[in-house]
Amino acid sequence: MMSLNANAKKRVALVGAPLALGQSLAGVGLAPQVLRQAGLGQVITELGYELMDKGDLVFRVEEVTPISPVTGAGAAVTLSRVKHAQAVGQACRELAQAVEQLATGDNFVLTLGGDHSVALGSIAGLWRARPETALVWVDAHGDFNTPETSLSGNLHGMPLAALLGQLTPGLPGFEWLQGVSVSPERVALVGVRSLDEAERQLLKATGVQVYTMSAIDRYGIGPIMERAMAAVNPTGKLGYHVSFDIDAIDPQEAPGTGTTARGGLTYREGHTIVEMLAATDKLGSMDLVEINPELDRNDLTITLGIELIASALGKAIF
């Protein structure tokens, strides 16, 4: 596993995944280009990295016949439709192929969403290239619904469950995901403050490490991150991937996202998460997702996103 230390040859491989079909609001697909226009590339190079920008993937938009209704035991609802399953599945397959290729070298792989359904592709591709990786999922939500439990049918609420093998077999567009399964012992969910009851039960059953905002309030973000990293990487020999949903940050500081929830991470808590991961010299990849420029205010969220990436790449106060 690569070490991003000051003496190493450093390169950031960036890929845009402007997928917006995992949720219902327009605008989130604009984020990769807006982040670039706001100076992301310059920030990366000023930190001493070589930037290899692969541009944005071009995803096809396809409508699909709804899947047959299915009822899960104890599910909150019976779901008769998963929205845009074929198109989202195909897009994630293409992203997985791109990320797998980028991750075969000693690159820091940066995926810019798009909504959080893109993590199905980025993490599947990363795990193929770097199976010895632990996952820190930073999110206000659990993203642990299934087609049986989802209240909305939006796939951006299902990617973590799908990566842990909970996706309904036969869902159109996701045949390629069979055989990709992240171990729950290697997953920490940090900053969560909004869970559906079915998600809560499934998270408990699978054994994912969950660190809520209540725990962060009680113990502080530093001790919580120490616990999280020790839980998913007890020997310290694994690499890390962080999948950062900007809605984990309180909407006062990150208004430009579609699923806000009050009481989120502060500006400094968000930075502390990625700073602590970067300080291990084992953070090798990152997703930044759910920034919606059309919902932003005075570019607060875009600016914060760029700053979080800089912290993940090792920028520190001193």
Residues serving a catalytic function are: 116, 139, 141, 143, 156, 245, 247, 290
Kindly state the tokens that stand for 222: 């530093």
Kindly state the tokens that stand for 279: 């300080």
Which residue's structure tokens are 């450093």? 10
Q: Name the packing angle between helices 221-232 and 267-279 (round to 10°).
A: 40
Helix (H, G, I), strand (E, B) or coil at 54: strand
CA 190-120-158 angle, to 5 degrees, is 65
DSSP notation for 257-315: SSS--SS-B-HHHHHHHHHHHHHTT-EEEEEEE---GGG-STTHHHHHHHHHHHHHTT-
Among 85, 115, 86, smallest CA distance to 25 is for: 115
Residue 136's contacts (CB-CB under 8 Å, 6 or more residues apart) are 188, 190, 228, 229, 232, 240, 241, 242, 243, 273, 277
The 3-state secondary structure of 191-237 reads EECECCHHHHHHHHHHCCEEEEHHHHHHHCHHHHHHHHHHHHCCCCC
DSSP element (H, E) containing 99: helix 85-103
